Structure 1
Amino acid sequence: MNEEKKRIVVKVGTSSLVNANGSIKVPTINRLARTLSDLNQAGYEMILVSSGAVGAGMSKLQIEQRPTDIAELQALSAVGQVALMDLYTRAFNANNQEIAQILLTRDVVDFPISHDNVLRTINQLMAHHVIPIINENDPVSVDEFHHKTTFGENDQLAAIVTKFIDADELIIMSDINGLYDANPATHPDAKLLKVVTKIDDKIMQFAGGHGSQFGSGGMATKLKAAQIILDSDKKMVIVNGENPAIINDVINDDFTGTTFSAN
């Protein structure tokens, strides 16, 4: 493993945390905690951007269909965020790893004073070898004229955080191996794109809709995140998050997935 210290953002999607029946994938959370803890304790600076609050809230309140009402979604997020952090706390404690929760809104990143304060907080946490777990502050985020506080979804949040804290790499864990030239679920001969150096109309055409009723992302949002990463001259990879140990494979550059890099 590379001995040079690296700052790595890992984004885990709702589909990696919530089963199709709405139950939480506790074993996945435990494996994710173990992998991130081992890397953090080996000298890497690990940051986790976690989706799943709405999905966890739906599971907690036994709601099967994702609602469309904003107030209902924000209420579910408020319930789910507590449940999710309880699971993360127990999982990381089992690996002797301290964590911290940071809930962001877009204006915190955009305005200089709050930007600097949050950045200092994150750097201080990592100086104490604490893993920050970041999510959007969904229960209070709004999107209105002159007051935009939403990131849109967590793929773009993860890319903005990667740029914001000057991380070396963003690893997005999804329910698919990476970006294909067609939908592999309906096209058995679809080819995985191993390296993408720019996001153009052709690449955007490869993106389909999101596959989870509990999440808000999809390949299109990941490509928007990739554009932020490429514009920042950084690196991003998309891998299948079924087994979080794949993060080690990404760090060792021996993995199946799609790499986005201008170089």
Structure 2
Amino acid sequence: MREFLKEVQRIVVKIGTSSLIYPNGNINLAGIDQLAFVLTDLRNQGKEVVLVSSGAVGVGMNKLHIGQRPAEIPKQQAIAAVGQAELMNIYNQRFSTYSQQTAQVLLTRDIVEYPESRKNVINTLEELLFMEVIPIINENDTVAVDELDHLTKFGDNDQLSAIVAQILKADLLIMLSDIDGFYSENPAVNPQAERYTRITEIDENLMAQAGGSGSSFGTGGMHSKLKAAKRILANEQAMILANGRKPSIIFDLLAGKEYGTLFAPEQLEED
């Protein structure tokens, strides 16, 4: 059992593009509405909630009626600029339905590399949480190319969510994707693949089992999620990877139900 999850207070939720955009490129409004309901209810319970949201490029492609993700970085940045505004408009509308105030926070790599910027970001996020606001965080795609199709050693919202959880000393990172957890093989290829229910250490063997990139609308893949989990484990924190098709699964995860894959160090004893 995952009894300790019932006691978590500060939660970072990362939602992937595949949970926000249908395979046909249209926006999953029902999923976004359910996400807003769930996170607002957690806030009403007294929990502190931060949302790290992908989807700017995917929403921008939908808004501009672009069917295929362009390869050119400037085009991706322009699409992200359009999409980020539209995505926040949708979030604001849905969260307002439940009387929950949100705030947009766009970040770049300097939150890690420059101590002063890191301190400023932490101060801003802490103050928003104190004000009972839900920060909605994304990479600033219009000025940062790390998470776009650019050959760098680091960058995407999986990593960003792990960094946010780290600097805020969150009790839990919930990463919602288009898969039910981490498997020994690709379950779409091998139906007999085994889902790991708990992982306490990430080694080369596990990394080798991870696949490539994610959907055509996003950038993350299983390898990226394992890198994020490795960061979380190194900081002695916990992370759950689960299917975000129905964001209400968050309630079940926090109730201790064994959905998805829990990444947690051994010292986090389970009652």
Give the alignment's TM-score, normalised by structure 2: 0.92
Q: Which runs of 5+ in 1 are unaligned?
A: 144-148
Per-residue CA deviations over 1:152-202 (Å, capped at 9, x if unaligned) read: 100000001100111111000000000000111110111101111111111
1:146 aligned residue: none
> Given the alignment, which residue of 109, 130, 133 partners 1:130?
133
Is residue 8–residue 172 contact of structure 2 (8 Å, CA) maintained in 1?
Answer: no
2:245 aligned residue: 242
1:165 aligns with 2:168: yes
SS of the equivalent of 1:66 reads coil
Moved over 4 A (4+): 1-5
- Equivalenced residues, count: 258
SS of the equivalent of 1:159 reads helix
Matched residue type, 1:227 = K
2:16 aligned residue: 13
1:194 aligns with 2:197: yes
Please state how far the C-alpha of 1:249 moved relative to its aligned partner: 1.0
Per-residue CA deviations over 1:85-118 (Å, capped at 9, x if unaligned) read: 0000000000010000000001133212221111
> In structure 2, how many angstroms separate the alpha carbons of the residues matched to 1:135 and 1:151?
15
Please state how far the C-alpha of 1:3 moved relative to its aligned partner: 7.8
SS of the equivalent of 2:219 reads coil
1:64 aligned residue: 67
Relative distance call for 1:126 and 1:108 in structure 2 (3 A) is same
Percent of aligned pairs with the same residue? Answer: 51
What does residue range 12-161 of structure 1 map to in structure 2 within 5 Å?
A: 12-142=15-145, 152-161=155-164
> In structure 2, how many angstroms separate the alpha carbons of the residues matched to 1:17 and 1:181?
26
1:223 aligned residue: 226
Please state how far the C-alpha of 1:209 moved relative to its aligned partner: 1.9
Matched residue type, 2:22 = N
SS of the equivalent of 2:143 reads coil
Per-residue CA deviations over 1:99-153 (Å, capped at 9, x if unaligned) read: 000000011332122211111111111111000000000101145xxxxx99510
2:177 aligned residue: 174
Is residue 106–residue 150 contact of structure 1 (8 Å, CA) maintained in 2?
Answer: no
> In structure 1, how many angstroms separate the alpha carbons of the residues matched to 2:50 and 2:94?
16
Per-residue CA deviations over 1:44-92 (Å, capped at 9, x if unaligned) read: 0000000000000000011111111110111111000001000000000
> In structure 2, how many angstroms separate the alpha carbons of the residues matched to 1:4 and 1:240?
22
More displaced stretch, 58-67 vs 28-37 = 58-67
Matched residue type, 1:213 = S
Please state how far the C-alpha of 1:211 moved relative to its aligned partner: 3.8
Please state how far the C-alpha of 1:256 moved relative to its aligned partner: 1.3
